[in-house]
């Protein structure tokens, strides 16, 4: 009963899948954070003018990610772009990230009180100096836990890319299940890998947070 046809090679295959998951997360976070920081700053600085932007980003948060993947994949074919599925996955996840990250950054920047801003300005700092030396460092600390949560969320959402044909952790385990017919065991291993990855990110988050709080 306890014998299994799960081999070391299968485990390697799953770890490769996990690596794909991690890479996707990394790219998506990179794209999403860069766009999110810029858009978030814009949203905080010009709330009226950028209202349409908020509506647009709201769409990406209210439509299932799965549908976004399919739509973008179809759009890619219609537009005749020669992108790999991996690139499509990164871009869709990146936009999705950006939508959330914008809100996180915006609330972080808004949490810096206006008086701090005024104090910096009256010390003779320019607008960009204030932003760079005063507002951003303070906003980062506020936004960081939210950002880590976003990383965790995105890592879990990468499992949806199997629909557009990228072999990531869950798809890899499914492939193995199809061959050796032991779904529970293989899926438990996949779950364990996901759990460990999430745990690692969460741990990293706490370490960084603690470090930043040292001179509070």
Partner 1 sequence: MMAGAWVTVETAVLSMVFGVLIALVLTSMRQARNPLMRGFSNAWVSIARNTPSLFQIYILYFGLGSFGLHVSSWIALLAGITFNNAGYLAENFRGGLKAVPETQIRAARSLGMSALQGYRLIVVPQLLRIVFYPLTNQMVWAVLMTSLGVIVGLNNDLTGVTQDYNVKTFRTFEFFALAAVIYYAIAKVIVLAARLMAWRLFRY
| Cα 27 to Cα 39: distance, rounded to the nearest angstrom | 18
104 binds partner 1 (CB under 8 A): no
Given the complex with partner 1, which of 136 and 202 has the nearer CB atom? Answer: 202
In the bound state with partner 1, the residue whose beta carbon lies nearer, of 137 and 200, is: 200
**Would you count residue 44 as binding partner 1 (CB under 8 A)?**
no
Q: Are 152 and 202 in contact (CB under 8 A)?
A: yes
Contact pick of 12, 15, 49, 63 for partner 1 (by CB under 8 A): 63
Which of residues 72 and 144 has its CB atom nearest to partner 1 in the complex?
Answer: 72
Give min distance, CB of 149 to partner 1, in A: 10
Residue closer to partner 1 (CB basis): 76 or 121: 76
Residue 2 is a binding residue for partner 1 (CB under 8 A): no
Check residue 75 for interaction with partner 1 (CB under 8 A): yes
Q: What is the DSSP string of 38-54?
A: HHHHHHHH-TTTTHHHH
Q: 117: which residues sit within 8 A by CB, 6+ positions away?
A: 130, 134, 135
Taken in order 28, 31, 37, 39, the sign of the CA dihedral is negative
Among the listed residues 1, 8, 52, 64, the single contact to partner 1 using CB under 8 A: 64
Query: Helix (H, G, I), strand (E, B), or coil: what is residue 1?
Result: coil
Give me the helices (H) in the chain, please: 8-45, 51-62, 65-79, 85-110, 114-122, 127-129, 136-157, 169-180, 183-212
The residue ranges that bind partner 1 (CB under 8 A) are: 59, 62-68, 70-71, 73-75, 78, 152, 156-160, 162-163, 170, 174, 177, 182-184, 187-188, 190-191, 194-195, 198-199
């Amino acid at each position: 009963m306890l014998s299994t046809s799960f081999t070391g090679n299968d485990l390697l295959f799953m770890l490769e899948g996990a690596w794909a998951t991690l890479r996707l997360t990394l790219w998506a976070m990179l794209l999403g954070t860069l766009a999110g920081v810029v858009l978030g700053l814009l949203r905080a600085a010009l709330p009226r003018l950028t209202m349409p932007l908020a509506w647009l980003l709201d769409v990406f948060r209210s439509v299932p990610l799965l549908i976004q993947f399919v739509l973008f994949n179809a759009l890619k074919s219609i537009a005749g772009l020669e992108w790999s599925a991996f690139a499509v996955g990164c871009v869709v996840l990146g936009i999705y990230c950006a939508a959330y990250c914008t809100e996180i950054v915006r609330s972080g920047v808004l949490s810096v009180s206006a008086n701090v801003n005024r104090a910096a300005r009256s010390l003779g700092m320019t607008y960009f100096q204030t932003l760079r030396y005063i507002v951003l460092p303070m906003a980062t600390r506020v936004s960081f836990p939210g950002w880590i949560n976003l990383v965790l969320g995105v890592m879990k959402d990468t499992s949806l890319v199997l629909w557009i044909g990228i072999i990531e952790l869950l798809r890899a385990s499914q492939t193995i299940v199809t061959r050796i017919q032991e779904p529970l065991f293989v899926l438990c291993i996949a779950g364990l890998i996901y759990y460990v990855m999430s745990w690692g990110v969460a741990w990293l988050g706490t370490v960084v947070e603690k470090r930043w709080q040292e001179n509070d």
